[in-house]
């Protein structure tokens, strides 16, 4: 990375490695952000940054924005739809949006049972 600090994939991969080590999440976030500075349309980096932000207290709104960016750059990214649905499902007044993202995940990947299960749970909770 010293030779090519703008090598987005290297920062992204380092972020993945750091995110898996207890206590290294802030560094993972920094690496995902570096990847996105180098390549702003890197949907997977937006998704992983959002995953890391979800684990950081008080950063849910930033995570939502990152999941939305991932989806904007890669509309068929079923995992980003699912992840955003999970986050929204835990926020007051956002269950309908969550169901919409789970439904999108299912449209993209019809055999993705976790999305189907979440839709069923949320609909049951609304009754």
Could you confirm whether domain 1-74 is CATH 1.10.3720.10? Answer: no
pLDDT in tens, 42-98: 999 999 999 999 999 999 999 999 999 999 999 999 999 999 999 999 999 999 999
Confidence of residue 14 (pLDDT cuts 50, 70, 90): very high
Structure token pair of residue 41: 């349309």
63 close to 39: Cβ distance less than 8 angstroms: no
Domain limits of the chain?
A: 1-74, 75-127
Residue 74 CA to residue 32 CA, distance in Å, equals 17
Dihedral sign computed on CA atoms, order 21, 41, 103, 105: negative
Closest CA to 23 of 55, 50, 47: 55
Q: What is the pTM of this model?
A: 0.93
Q: Residue 1 has what pLDDT?
A: 56
* C-alpha pair distances (Å), 9 with each of 14, 109, 110: 8, 26, 29
Structure token pair of residue 108: 């993209």
Closest CA to 19 of 29, 34, 33, 9: 29
Residue 12 has pLDDT above 80, yes or no: yes
Dihedral sign computed on CA atoms, order 70, 72, 77, 81: positive
């Amino acid at each position: 990375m010293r030779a090519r600090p703008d090598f987005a994939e290297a920062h992204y991969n380092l972020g993945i490695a750091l995110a898996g080590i207890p206590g290294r999440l802030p560094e993972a976030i920094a690496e995902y952000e570096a990847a996105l500075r180098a390549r702003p349309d890197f949907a997977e980096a937006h998704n992983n940054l959002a995953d890391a932000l979800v684990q950081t207290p008080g950063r849910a709104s930033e995570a939502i924005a990152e999941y939305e960016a991932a989806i904007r750059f890669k509309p068929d990214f079923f995992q980003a739809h699912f992840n955003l649905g999970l986050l929204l499902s835990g926020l007051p007044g956002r269950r309908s949006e969550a169901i919409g993202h789970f439904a999108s995940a299912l449209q993209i990947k019809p055999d993705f049972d976790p999305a189907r299960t979440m839709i069923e749970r949320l609909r049951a909770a609304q009754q």
